[in-house]
Amino acid sequence: MVWLLAASLVWGLSFGLIKGLINDVDPFFLGLVRTAAASLFFLPWLIRDALYKKLDKRSALQSAACGFIQIGLMYGPYLLSFRYLKSHEVALFTMTTPLIMSAFLIFGFGKLNGKSILRLCCAAMLATIGGVTVAWNGIASQELLVGIGLVQLSNVLFAIGLLMWTYFFGGKTQTISYLMCPYFFGAFLASVILTVFLGKFSFEYTQNQWLVFLWLGVISSGLGFYLWNRGALQVSRPVLAVANNIKLPIAIFISISLFGESAHYSRVASGLFMLLLAIRLVADLPETKSPH
């Protein structure tokens, strides 16, 4: 759980950075730059294992497939949504991820009995309500439905890629460091495709913008997804589903502190309590079985 909390802290800072400093950047090109930077950051681990003949080609391809969906395809609608929503609204509408992941667990990975399914559904609803409570700061965006649709599409893609990751690598004791380069290379490939067909290539940005690109690529994407995907292999899938909304109180707190957005501290505290209660509700549920 510590790894998931660390990743949530890293991601929480990114909400404000994306909206405040690079709002005019093509979202598909931004996704390309982020995944390219993250791939290069993890390249030394891949080279090391290849030189010592420890590279598992099948695992590398599986990792690339996860990255293609979980990040590469997900980044397109996610980043595009910032053109239609405020940063706290984007955070708000990611609240459905626990519900989406729980639905996948029940209908796709289902080995839970009726009582466990009921507890998982209650926990997912509690986590969603907690997320709404934390992130709610009014809704003022004009093209709300477009923004909501984009965020929900990104939530679905994220959930699919994350569950694929646990399916392929759950229960393995190997380090995942060398898997992160092919993981981000898969994401980079998806970003190239999206940029070619939907975005535009442009390198005329300010120095500050390029520094933010570097942060988002190496720290937010690279370090963030390394921490999250490592943590995902150390908790059960029900806990993982609910824990997705932990990033919300962190993101809102950072938006208040660093980027001048307003929110109610009592809501943040009560929402966080509900999220923690939701995690406790599924903490002792049996692990859902991968359909091998």
Provide the residue ranges of all domains of the chain, joining segments of one domain with +: 2-282
Six token digits for residue 245: 């909304």
In 10 A of CB 262, how many CB atoms? 10
Residue 94 has pLDDT above 90, yes or no: no
Distance (Å, whole) CA 68 – CA 72: 5
CA distance 264 to 252: 10
Q: In this prediction, what percent of the chain has a pLDDT beyond 70?
A: 86
pLDDT higher at 55 or 270: 270
Q: What is the pLDDT of residue 285?
A: 76
User: Which residues are CB-neighbours of 254 under 8 A, at least 6 positions away?
Assistant: 12, 13, 15, 16
pLDDT band of residue 172 (cuts 50, 70, 90) is low
Q: How far apart are CA 222 and CA 252, in angstroms?
A: 22
User: Average of pLDDT values for 110-137?
Assistant: 82
Q: What are the pLDDT digits (tens) for 129-169? A: 988 887 776 777 777 889 999 999 999 999 999 999 998 98
Span 99-117, average pLDDT: 81
Q: Is the pLDDT of residue 20 over 90?
A: no
CA distance 16 to 35: 19
**pLDDT (average), residues 265-286:** 84
Residue that wins the pLDDT comparison between 186 and 252:
186
Stretch 206-221: mean pLDDT, rounded?
A: 88
- C-beta separation of 181 from 229 below 8 A: no
First to last CA, the chain: 26
Lowest mean pLDDT among 31-35, 181-185, 250-254, 275-279: 250-254
pLDDT of residue 267: 78
Band (290; pLDDT cuts 50, 70, 90): very low
Q: What is the pTM of this model?
A: 0.86
| pLDDT of 82 higher than 70 | yes
Residue listed under structure tokens 């980079």: 188
